Chains A and B, each alone.
Chain A
Amino acid sequence: MTPGKWLGVLFLMPATLFVVVFFLSPVLLTAVFAFTSMSTATGVGEGGYLITPSTLHRLAERGMDRSTAESLGATTYLVNPETLSRARAAGVAAATLDELGQRHAGKSFDGRRGFERALKSLNNRPRSVRALKQAARHFETSVLNRTFGQREDLLAALAASGVRLSDEDRERLVDASYTGWTWTTDNLRRMFGTADTAQVLANTLIYVFVTLILFNTGFALVLAITTFYLPTTEAAVFRGIWFLPRITPPVLYVLLWKWFAWDTGFLSTVLGWFGVASRNWMLDTAFNAWVFVVLINGFVGASMGMIIFSSAIRAIPEPLFWASEVDGASRWQQVRRIILPQLRWPILFVTSYQTLSLLTSFEYILLATDGGPGSTTEVWSLAAYHTALNNYAGNLQYGYGAALALVLVIIGVVLSLLYLRIFNFDALVARPRIET
């Protein structure tokens, strides 16, 4: 490559890095997580091994010998030469171990409390909680409720526990006690297996297309055209006002809507003068909730289209307007015959861009209705958020949430490719014919 080309690559580096870190890697991770059982309970890193009474109960239901399950389910502390020497090697005080050996050799204790009480009754008892706990742990032979970092540790502990296990049972036990995440297609099965998915999909389509058609392109176009015919100063004022929703912090913006809509808010108060019973207008019915969701998002979304359309209208050569006026064209004819045809590409661009943007935006709905009433305004991206990052009982389902998000990623990529084709992107970036 020539030095000039290297310079080009160098110039592209920051952008490339940005795309890789903030776009490609999240997309890849979403795709990977979508095929795992990852949740708060499994953690994101490598899991451990934990045998609980429930694990044993489940295995017994699936055919493990009940007496084996029962012996695995006991907490046992054994005092024998082996455990004594293990404790000695770990540095437990010799006097304690000697006395323990003399008084309790060969004894087995059911449960931690019994054994700790025996330790505490020694003359040479451990004199701190730490010493007590650290002495006791070497005598525990059972595997119940102990976390093992590695498979080998669990296998060694199982061997030391003295419980006889068939190879098959041992394998099943080790598998069932793994606490980490595993690869699975369950998320997809679950997604396609529930009626919720269809409901959320329908909500998403309503949200995206109604907001898009009425506001993000429709109303944006109205604003751009009307302000075009206003004197410059007034036009700037109006555009400034319509820009406010976008630059107001979302939390504050939605709070204003809530003050407007709720039981003791503006709307209820004013309507109260006419005898209308006060109510939470935003959450009163599913229809009301949709009206507010569309208005809240639409007022924000309209400003972007307004700016783009306004500049596009200004780019139309003015002689076209002068000529049409000489020909006696009305304002409406100017809009229909001059402005709209010239705005074809900007309209297409805003429509496509805003489809993608609406598909993934849920922050205003989260703040306003949080998907309510009764999940009627729960859109796809909000459902993914609720699943992956919001749970009253603390167990966040990263895997299932990622599977939901993956659907959005796929739709986004497919639509993007489609738009590139429609816009004929190759032609836009083609080498100019005049320059060499």
Chain B
Amino acid sequence: MGNPRKFASTLAAAALTASLATGTAPAADMTITVWAGGSNASDVYRVDAIEMAADILAREAEIRGESINVTVDKKLYDGWDDFKQAVTLAAESGNAPHIVVTGHEDIAPWANAGIIRKIEDLIDMDAWPINDIFPNLIEISSYEGAVYGLPQDAESRPFFAWIPHMKAIGYSDAGIAALPERVAGGEYTLYDVLDDAKKMQDQGVVEPGYGFYPRVSNGPDYWQFYQSFGGEMQDAASGKLIYDQGAMTRFYQFFADAVAMGVTRKNHVGTPWDQWYAEVASGKAGLWHGGTWHYARYTGKEGLTGFFDKIQFTLIPAGDANGRPNTITHPLVYLVTNRGTDDDAFIAAELVKIASEPRINTLHAIKSAHLGIAKSQTSIELYSNDRWASEATERLLPSANAMPNNTDFGVYWTAMWKGLESAWTGQKSPEQAAADAAAELRNALGDRIVMR
């Protein structure tokens, strides 16, 4: 037999058509496994939504006179490394879960490796609720023009300022209220951030090294600063990655300057996350950046009350005239894997589709302080009555872009981070770090990356 898989799918198609033609009711009892990465207790709706969808699917089937009983086998992974290793290794041995919830950047390598199926092959992209999802999120769930997944949530990575400290260095209430607009207009830049941070330290409002208190580990956040200085990650026309050495140098220089001014600690990277959260949520830091989901942590575990009186949030300011104020959204996506038969895949995709319905998705968005994926969520009361979700959606999402889905992006990212760390900790000058990263990328990727 030439191609067993093709033969099997033909058989399945034939059986299905036969059952439809004769009007017999197909009965299915199946188990669908779903794994979610980077998820803690507040993210349970990433997998619970699939279970809710299974219930709706069963009811719909029953009305059609069919019987579909889906048991959902759920698993949450706290971190990313373990999860990604588990998925790829399971996929290599044919035991991948049917549905995975992962960062959109996994689409490129997994699509190329044939681990995942194109969701556009499995669901009607014209149908509700797909036609209600923000088009830019659908684009982020695509690779090479084909839609592979559906967005599971959206978020964005804002800049934060501790309002009492801003007042202490002379900002008025009106000045603080106008900050988001000044940032969006490019009037308040990253170097103004450093100046304000310095003022806070000089006046003893915050301790040295706490004026500007960035993220403590590698993450998509740092690409925002590259964009603030005019960097672009991918060329839309050719799909090739772009390394902008000038922008990279200025981005590294900014962090080196922050250290030189004493407003950021040289050894900041590697600070424990628990310590960092506790500090930023208690006013120990002046200015910092984080994610929209931090709202849940600050007001939950860290016990912050009166969030909107204490914390102002804006886009990441522009770095200089070449750059722009921006924010990166890093949506997680539902992906259907190649595990099982076509039948399994259709059921899995149907579950993902139902789980993306605005009401179900809103449960996750509000519980985990993420942003919604669809237009109509803003008219669901649970969402619209939540001040954080509605204001963050309005202020941040319109300016949000995402990292490219490109199989070589990981190599690029590693080089970017390595360069940043060495400039930040003073191992290399920013120019040297950016030049070394360029050399490394030329060596590793050749003409698959465009050097500017």
Contact = CB atoms under 8 A, between A and B. Distances in A.
Contact of A91 (B2, B14, B105): B14
Nearest to B87: A394
B16 A43 contact: no
A40 B443 contact: no
A435 B112 CA distance: 66
Contacts of A134: 13, 16-17
A338 B444 CA distance: 56
A375 B419 CA distance: 9
Interface residues of B, number: 82
A344 interface: no
A48 interface: yes
Given A53-B145, A112-B120, A373-B421, A90 B81 contact: no
A375 B418 contact: yes
B238 interface: yes
Contacts of B13: 90-91, 134
A297 interface: no
A375 B422 contact: yes
A47 B124 CA distance: 28
Nearest to A137: B121
Contact of A373 (B110, B118, B126, B425): B425
Contacts of A196: 418, 440
A305 B20 CA distance: 74
A314 B124 CA distance: 79
A330 B325 CA distance: 76
B63 to A, nearest CB: 14
B122 interface: yes
Interface in B255-308: 265-267, 269-272, 275
B270 A370 contact: yes
A45 B266 CA distance: 44
A50 B146 CA distance: 12
Interface string A82-112: 0000000011110000000000000000001
A92 B346 contact: no
Nearest to A368: B270
Contacts of A282: 270
A141 B153 CA distance: 35
Residue among A44, A134, A137 with most chain B CB within 10 A: A134
Interface string B407-421: 111110110011001
A81 interface: no
A150 B6 CA distance: 11
Residue among B126, B144, B422 with most chain A CB within 10 A: B144
A390 interface: yes
B415 to A, nearest CB: 9
Residue among A130, A375, A389 with most chain B CB within 10 A: A130
A190 interface: yes
Nearest to B92: A44
13 contacts: A41-B113, A42-B112, A48-B114, A53-B144, A129-B346, A149-B5, A258-B272, A277-B208, A280-B271, A286-B425, A373-B427, A394-B410, A396-B85
Q: Which 3 A-B pairs have the closest CB atoms?
A: A393-B410, A52-B144, A41-B109
